[in-house]
Structure 1
Amino acid sequence: MMSHTTSAGRELDPVAESVAVYSDHTGEYAAVHAPKMADRVERFAGSLPAPSLILDAGCGPGRDLARFRAYGHVARGVDLNPVFVTMANTHAPTSQCDLREVGTRFPAGTFDGVWASASLVHLDAAETVDVLGQFGALLRPDGKLYVCLKATGHTGWLDEPDGRRWYTVWDPDEFATAVTGAGFEVDRVDPGPYVEVWATRNG
């Protein structure tokens, strides 16, 4: 990943810089994305006995935290953006956390499920592989993982209507292989603009 240098000559972390952009449009972001992913949440929630403890890794404003609770699960959230953390805390306990350090925030084997919906898109490939390994450590044996990442376009900085962000684009097969290498059995791969991987932690 290439670093970005400010006018003052200070290098910024592309992940932190990308996540910070959301702060200027949190209400709009929450409204636009509110109806999305409901079917995936239902499928993931149904794959675990209720109540299970689910980590929403990169929870944004907390949409899916509320959904998991409605399905009878116990949800916990982490997000790097402080405005999102405040919003998400209205749905379930949420703390500010860089996902590249998520493995240091909870004891190993804490969670029954880890849900990472488009939350790793700003990490480079090596960082993503490392975080997948941290997810595996946080899950109990046979715990469930859902993760989706960008699979179309080009890796690099992207100017969007609401700001400039870094994205890493993955080949679906390569990403499924990375999940397997992190200690998971891949149960399902759904290709598309975002490749979606459903997996189970090896016992």
Structure 2
Amino acid sequence: MKLQPDDLDQITATTLGHYTKVAEDFRTGTRDHDVSQNIDALLRHIQGSAPFTVLDFGCGPGRDLQTFTRLGHIAVGLDGCERFAQMARQDSGCEVLQQDFLKLDLPAARFDGIFANAVLFHIPGQELPRILKQLHAALKPGGVLFSSNPRGENQEGWNGPRYGAYHDLHTWQALLTAAGFKELEHYYRPAGLPREQQPWLASVWRKPRAA
């Protein structure tokens, strides 16, 4: 059943309301999460000379903005939660955009890379093709998109106070390919565990250069 504008507004408001409520606990609970495998996967595929300009899409409180900055890159954050955006600015000193994921206003061809770690699954499936095309447009030619999402069997709906859409590899590949991306690699996380203990699907994609 197609979600109507009021449904989408409710999804955004309820999910962001949850993150606002738990912002301090979320920052504390995720501060020491090791996502170096994902950061490395993005950076090693970006072509050209560093420093790279990277959009941390769904930056949360700004943990990964600080990492990209320490590595010598120019990091820009984006989050829909006002409290997260405030935290990210304070903790990282980076430019942080506060934007509803369903109402993006991104500059064209600005970024060498987009880091979408544990965020795109919050976008309802019917809206995802449009959002992926907007991310594609925000990348420079040859730019790279990294994504990591909890995988599933192409179901979506409420998980407590948060909305999520959980795709399998085949569906995710089809969505990204339709948006104009070329796959570079994919893997499951956490590394080194049996597949049934790897709930995260990570993938890396390039925006092709014009022929």
TM-score (norm 1): 0.86
Question: Residues 147 and 197 of structure 1 are in contact (CA less than 8 Å); yes or no, is this contact kept in structure 2?
Answer: yes
State the Cα distance separating 1:45 from its structure 2 match: 2.8
State the Cα distance separating 1:123 from its structure 2 match: 1.3
- Unpaired runs of at least 5, structure 2: 189-197
State the Cα distance separating 1:158 from its structure 2 match: 1.3
Find the counterpart in structure 2 of residue 184 from structure 1.
181
TM-score (norm 2): 0.83
Secondary structure (helix, strand or coil) at the match of 2:109 reads coil
Question: Residues 172 and 195 of structure 1 are in contact (CA less than 8 Å); yes or no, is this contact kept in structure 2?
Answer: yes
Instruction: Determine if the alignment matches structure 1 residue 16 to structure 2 residue 16.
Output: no
Kindly provide the amino acid, as one letter, of the partner of residue 156 in structure 1. G
Distance 1:101 1:12 in 2: 11
The count of aligned residue pairs is: 192
Question: Residues 12 and 100 of structure 2 are in contact (CA less than 8 Å); yes or no, is this contact kept in structure 1?
Answer: no
Runs of 4+ in 1 over 4 A off after TM superposition: none
Instruction: Determine if the alignment matches structure 1 residue 57 to structure 2 residue 63.
Output: no
State the Cα distance separating 1:12 from its structure 2 match: 4.7
Question: Residues 55 and 76 of structure 2 are in contact (CA less than 8 Å); yes or no, is this contact kept in structure 1?
Answer: yes
Find the counterpart in structure 2 of residue 199 from structure 1.
205
Kindly provide the amino acid, as one letter, of the partner of residue 178 in structure 2. G
Instruction: Determine if the alignment matches structure 1 residue 42 to structure 2 residue 40.
Output: yes
Q: Percent identity?
A: 26
- Unpaired runs of at least 5, structure 1: none
Kindly provide the amino acid, as one letter, of the partner of residue 100 in structure 1. L
Mapping 1:74-153, distance limit 5 Å:
74-90=74-90, 91=92, 92-102=94-104, 104-106=105-107, 108-152=108-152
Distance 2:45 2:27 in 1: 26
Question: Residues 152 and 194 of structure 1 are in contact (CA less than 8 Å); yes or no, is this contact kept in structure 2?
Answer: no
Kindly provide the amino acid, as one letter, of the partner of residue 40 in structure 2. E
Distance 1:175 1:131 in 2: 14
Shift of the 72–11 alpha-carbon distance from structure 1 to 2, 3 Å rule, reads closer
Secondary structure (helix, strand or coil) at the match of 1:13 reads helix
Question: Residues 50 and 71 of structure 1 are in contact (CA less than 8 Å); yes or no, is this contact kept in structure 2?
Answer: no
